Amino acid sequence: MVVRSEHNSLEEFIRATSSSAERERVGFVSFTQWPFALAALAETALTMQAMGSKIYVAFWADRTPMKDTGWSTHRSLARLFGSRTSDECVEDSLVAVNGSDVSIVSPPIKRWRAPADVRIRQPLNRSAIRKLSYRGSPMGRAMLQIRPDTETPITDAYFWPRRLLDSAACSYAWVYDQTRALIEQHALTSIVIYNGRFLHDRAASAAGEAAGIRVLYYDTGGIDTDFDLTDNITHDWSDLQRRMIKMYEEWPGDLRDDVGESWFTDRINHAAPDNALFVESQQTGQGIDVPESNTVVVYFSSSGDEIAELELDWSRFIGDQPVALQALAEEVRRRPGWTLVVRSHPHKRMKPKQDVVEWLDAVQEAKPDVHVDHHSPIDSYTLMRQADIVVTYGSTTGVEAAYAGKPVIVMGPSAYDELGCAVFAGSEEELARALDAASPGSWSGAVSYGLMMRRRGFSLEKIQRTDGDYIIGGRVMSEPRVAAKHLSHAVHRVTRWHRERG
């Protein structure tokens, strides 16, 4: 069943947001083997080709010095087991469907070598990595997307292995130089990449920006749609909120509210698959024994590691999350009869031990009246209903509390502080005023968030999807054999182990 998406059609969106000159020669540079991302690439390439664009596609997931987050299988091993990688399937399908109108391109620099100044000579901490650049582009931020392991903390006290950093830097530089050469070789007028956040996507994006051409980003769509496409980086939350407001204003009233509300009700009822990991240990309807108090302020913590590397103006904020929590605790203590409850996000169960220890130390220093830890069965949705005021550093809980009719204060980066449903407090003075004047924000602003989460972007039109398989030009995008995947991962783990030794 085709559902109404944010945009009427991909072709209409592309025509409205780009010139014919920008669409003349378009390059797609891919480093992922995730089927959903490849389907979005194919849909966009086929649409632009039908609009008259000359398409150049670079499937380089298996060519980069370091394998990307979205890589899964070596092409050679897939063939050894009598199968094909998903990106190879898409490559074959695009050629079969379009022939000479789609060119599959190889890395143009045949014997690339890393410049001496890109090599990493010693272990570095996060701050030092963040400062690294390549040909004027922010290489360090991209490198921080490649973590040594799941226990890598966000603290500067931890130094990343030199060999891993060296491999990441060389891989970033390889992609940057190859993409820039590709742009020049084919006189590309635009490039299209996935997400824009991962190591190689950032390098390709930086190369496009340096060449002065238009860069488009495709990503996951909403729960009910297939993919998104935008000319703003996918983590530009101000742009996303502008889209939310526009979408809500343009949709029929009954439909927009029903769809938007369903996103919230699924989460409240613990029925949202994307939220299941966070609420699996929570008991629906279980709250806390609310202290006798004039005002109960509940602080819901956010994910520190997920926001640490966002490209933001951090001077806007009161400080990092521990600093913000301390400021809130001091303000609550200044108000007789007020109670502070801190809910530590259940994702802390899966976070690096050092980060959890530092957060718990911050909670202890803040001395809240009640601390609901990350293992607690207390239901976050019941807890927010027990609150008089909800405060977050940007957690999604903030917009969910706004939907529940609670006054919400946000002290860090969020994707809902410009919707009118929450008050932003970036200083002690703003926090004090927000607490004293707390009142529920815009309910429709909150619902516009839910609407976007369900119907963001586009539905596939040129690509069919049957029983979970994507079909391009009558050909199924198959996955490689499991044995090929397992062997590829084993080789990759050995390579990573060697890189992380020094």
φ/ψ (deg, to 5) at 124: -135, 150
CA distance 34 to 85: 10
Q: Burial of 48 by CB count in 10 Å (0-12 exposed, 13-18 middle, 19+ buried)? A: buried
Q: What is the mean pLDDT of the chain?
A: 92
CA 458 to chain centre: 18
In the β-sheet with 464-466, what is the strand arrangement from edge to edge?
A: 464-466, 469-472, 475-476
> pLDDT-derived band of residue 374, with 50, 70 and 90 as boundaries?
confident
pLDDT tens for 266-299 read: 999 999 988 887 888 889 999 999 888 889 999 9
pLDDT tens for 404-418 read: 999 999 999 999 999
The answer to whether domain 21-221+460-499 has CATH 2.20.28 is: no
Fold classification of 243-454 is: Rossmann fold (3.40.50)
> pLDDT-derived band of residue 99, with 50, 70 and 90 as boundaries?
low
Identify the residue whose tokens are 């272990």.
123
CA distance 318 to 304: 15
| CATH 3.40.50.2000-classified regions of the chain | 243-454
pLDDT tens for 173-191 read: 999 999 999 999 999 999 9
pLDDT tens for 228-258 read: 999 887 678 899 999 999 999 999 988 999 9
pLDDT above 70 for 316: yes
Mean pLDDT of 335-356: 87
